[in-house]
Structures are given as structure tokens and as C-alpha cells.
Amino acid sequence: MQPRITVITVGVDDLGRSLRFYRDGLGFKTDGIVGEKFDNGAVAFIDLQPGLRLALWPRSSIAHDTGLPLTAPCATEMTLGHNVASRSEVDAVMQLAESAGAHVIKAACDTFWGGYAGYFQDPDGHVWEVVWNPDWTE
């Protein structure tokens, strides 16, 4: 199998609230909520980079579509990494996220491996790491 991830879907409890956080608070580009005419179809797609989208989809819709039971969310299941070009950019993104309503769970600081990073949670508890890695250049 050739790994080709094109969509990262995060389950949300309030689609409108999540859309406002990402679109209005963080400035992510999106066409807004689509698919409302279908039962369990309302979703918002956010273009992240060429070939990759973030989907905001109600947790209840994911449970319905997959046939899995709706369970309590768990923040430590995965993180979303946002790599930036400098320490100061980490600080700026963390401040933007907090202003947008994110809960900062770990203020940006030096890491044990020589980088600089901080963590925040979106309104549904998904964990984002904002990180500068001096060894990564694009």
C-alpha cells in the first residue's frame, strides 16, 4: 500500500462552533458547512496544503456511518502537528490559537530534542502541537 492521506477527519460535538474556531479564529480557508441536505452528512472541509484537507464532522455522524458506538472523546489518541519556521512563529501561532478560544495545555518552551513547541486544544479537545524543529527545512 502506498500511503496517501488526503483527508484527516476530526469528530466534533458542535459543527458550527468548530467551524467558527478554525475559520474565524485561526483564519483557515473553507467553503463552510456542506452536505446538510443529507442525514448525518453535514461536514466542513478545510484546505490545509495541496492534496490534504481537514474535515470537521460530527462525532455522532461518524458513529452512525461506521456503525461504531458513540464514545467519550480522548485527547491523547493523536495530535495534529503544525510545523513552523521559527521560535517566534510558534509563539505567534500559540497566541492566535488562544485568542481564537483554544485551551493552551502546554505553553511554548524548549524541547528535550532541541526544538521549541507548545500544545493547545481546539473546542472539541483535539490536541495541536505547534513546533519549530531546527533540523527540518522545507
Let me know whether 84 and 55 are in one domain: no
pTM, two decimals, is: 0.91
- Rounded CA separation 48/25 (Å): 15
User: Model confidence over 22-63: pLDDT tens digits?
Assistant: 999 999 999 999 999 999 999 999 999 999 999 999 999 999
Amino acid at 12: V
Q: Which domain holds residue 52?
A: 7-66
pLDDT of 92 reads 98
Q: What is the tally of structural domains in the chain?
A: 2
pLDDT of 136 reads 82
User: Model confidence over 56-110: pLDDT tens digits?
Assistant: 999 999 999 999 999 999 999 999 999 999 999 999 999 999 999 999 999 999 9
Domain-embedded: residue 73:
no
CA 133 to chain centre: 19
Let me know whether 87 and 48 are in one domain: no
Domain-embedded: residue 138:
no
pLDDT of 2 reads 85
Q: What is the CATH number of the domain that holds 96?
A: 3.10.180.10
- Rounded CA separation 79/128 (Å): 6
Let me know whether 12 and 56 are in one domain: yes
User: Model confidence over 3-20: pLDDT tens digits?
Assistant: 889 999 999 999 999 999
- Rounded CA separation 16/75 (Å): 20
Q: Of 37, 66, 95, which residue sits at a domain end? A: 66
Cell numbers 488562544 correspond to 98
Angle value at C-alpha 24, between 18 and 25, nearest 5 degrees = 80
- Rounded CA separation 91/86 (Å): 9
